[in-house]
Amino acid sequence: MIEAGIEKKTPCASRESARLAALESLAILDTPPEPAYDAITRLAADYFEAEMAFIGFADETRVWVKSHVGGVFRELARASSIFDLVLASDGPLVIPDIGVHPDFQERRIHLRTRGWVFIAVAPVCAGDGHVVGMLAVFRTQTRGPLLENELRTLTNLATMVSSQLELHKLRTDAKRQRRRPPRAARALSHTWLRNSDLRRAIDRREFVLYYQPVVDLKSLQIVGLEALIRWRHPERGLLPPTDFIPTAEDCGLILPIGDWGLAEACNQIQAWTRENPENQSLRVCVNLSARQFSREGLADHVESLLMQSGTSSRQLGLEMTESSLIPNMDTALEVLEGLRALGISISMDDFGTGYSSLSYLHSFPIDVLKIDRSFVGRMTEGDQPLQIVRTIIELARVLEIDVVAEGIETAEQLHLLRELGCRFGQGYLFAKPMPADDVSTLLRLPGRILPKFETLQPSLAACMA
């Protein structure tokens, strides 16, 4: 941390060239600002009770302001800017009183502000560690020196901005993975999958729900389940949703299929509750499509299903992805508020892989963030992927939102998530998706606690000892 009167170093030309190269590779200056940045600046302004906060990225001549609260500008001159001080400090910068700071007197630092007294700034770094931007907060009145935990929060918020730079790359990769199969595979698919096949599957009750346990990462107690649809095809066997859901969405049959899944999950919840009243604490989460969220009467429909099955609203959770919100955000907000009024938990699935997931946390009533498996799987590959998971968990902590890590497959991943403070998780390390009867067997275990670590994986016991 740099404070008034401390000498700062000037970056050499080669370091500045490398920094600018890193900035250019991100291609962020001439693109629309990501709404996620607005979420972070609002968090910073609220937390520090600041009159102004902004996120900016600096090239050779300008500081491009990508998000701001309490300001009306979009760019600043790079010369004699606060960014130069941040770059020289190579770390967080705190100026308790700019009136006595030598840089503001001798170099006439350009702020375009209105008599700010207190300034706190944290650097925003690219994946290779070069400082490419900053997160700054300004106050006209001081509240005493900045505490260590406050500085840590500012740094964490800046790291969230850094994570967005990495998430941009990961989103691109994730979109490629979720695209339809190659042309040959699509041609083969269309030779057998027709709308009438899906209609027939509905009529013949060929769809089935599998359930994957969600566990408390400390006790390994089962605390919930995610319902996942499968098609028990009479000729092709058990098919995953990727084989038929896109077609169902295209032809409109996703609505009856989704309604069946909701009803089936509610009935199964009640069956488990009748089997053992202690299972009332379980929550079963069901994925909803964009088409379902576009229905203004969804909350009424869900309420009727709960009443018919005798299931409590606190036992049902609904999961959505960012793509579920985009088509009609006004309707989605109305639907989510109606579901929240019922007492149903709302989860954002695949968090971080969408364009503006962070910004939705301020607009929509979200109870749970589910960290995408692509992030969890890369945690052991380097500092940057691990930092992304850390900042998502920190963001959830600040917003008082629960976190579920998806795709946990190794003991090392579990160990890291526990150290980061993640409470809940799911993945093959604990259990694969399974039929309801197999889940019933697990729920009969004492305390709903999964088998001892030694029976799951020997290395798990070692790292948790």
Residue 4 placed within a domain: no
Residue 153 sits in the same domain as residue 269: no
CATH number of the structural domain spanning residue 230:
3.20.20.450
- The Cα-based distances of 85 to 29, 92, 334 in angstroms read 21, 10, 46
Please give the residue range of the domain that contains residue 153.
13-176
| Other CB atoms within 10 Å distance of the CB of residue 100 | 11
Residue 21 placed within a domain: yes
Residue 162 sits in the same domain as residue 285: no
Residue 189 sits in the same domain as residue 170: no
Residue 359 sits in the same domain as residue 393: yes
Q: Angle at Cα 66 formed by Cα 61 and Cα 68, nearest 5°?
A: 115
Q: Residue 453's pLDDT is what?
A: 52
Question: Within the chain, which residues score under 70 in pLDDT?
Answer: 1-13, 30-33, 71-73, 77, 79-80, 97-116, 141-145, 168-192, 322-323, 325-328, 352-360, 362, 451-465
Residue 248 sits in the same domain as residue 310: yes
Residue 384 placed within a domain: yes
Residue 119 placed within a domain: yes
Q: Residue 410's pLDDT is what?
A: 93
Q: Residue 293's pLDDT is what?
A: 79
Q: Residue 15's pLDDT is what?
A: 82
In this structure, are strands 118-125 and 368-371 parallel, antiparallel, or unpaired?
unpaired
Q: What is the pLDDT of residues 322-373, one digit of tens each?
A: 667 666 677 888 888 999 999 999 998 877 655 445 666 767 888 999 998 8
- In the chain, the N- to C-terminal Cα span, in Å, equals 37
Encoded tokens for 128? 């290779």
Residue 454 sits in the same domain as residue 408: yes
Single pTM value for the model: 0.68
d(CA 244, CA 237): 13
Q: Residue 60's pLDDT is what?
A: 80
Residue 190 sits in the same domain as residue 150: no
Q: What is the pLDDT of residues 51-91, one digit of tens each?
A: 889 999 988 877 888 888 886 567 776 766 788 888 888 78
Q: Residue 168's pLDDT is what?
A: 64
Q: Residue 38's pLDDT is what?
A: 86
CATH number of the structural domain spanning residue 93:
3.30.450.40
Residue 429 placed within a domain: yes
Residue 86 sits in the same domain as residue 57: yes
Q: How many domains does the chain have?
A: 2
Residue 3 placed within a domain: no
Question: Where is the domain boundary, 176, 208, 231?
Answer: 176
Residue 258 sits in the same domain as residue 368: yes
Residue 89 sits in the same domain as residue 148: yes
Residue 415 sits in the same domain as residue 285: yes
Residue 276 placed within a domain: yes
Question: Where is the domain boundary, 159, 176, 193?
Answer: 176
Residue 124 sits in the same domain as residue 209: no
Question: Where is the domain boundary, 125, 151, 176?
Answer: 176
Residue 8 placed within a domain: no
Query: What's the per-residue H, E or C state across the chain?
Result: CECCCCCCCCCCHHHHHHHHHHHHHHCCCCCCCCHHHHHHHHHHHHHHCCCEEEEEEECCCEEEEEEEECCCCCEEECCCEHHHHHHHHCCCEEECCHHHCHHHHHCCCECCCCCCCEEEEEEEECCCCCEEEEEEEEECCCCCCCCHHHHHHHHHHHHHHHHHHHHHHHHHHHHHHHCCCCHHHHHHHHHHCCHHHHHHHHHCCCEEEEEEEEEECCCCEEEEEEEEEEEEECCCEEECHHHCHHHHHHHCCHHHHHHHHHHHHHHHHHHHHHHCHHHHHCEEEEECCHHHHCCCCHHHHHHHHHHHHCCCHHHEEEEECHHHHCCCHHHHHHHHHHHHHHCCEEEEEEECCCCCHHHHHHHCCCCEEEECHHHHHCHHHCHHHHHHHHHHHHHHHHHCCEEEECCCCCHHHHHHHHHHCCCEECCCCCCCCECHHHHHHHHCCHHHECCCHHHHCHHHHHHHC
Q: Residue 251's pLDDT is what?
A: 83
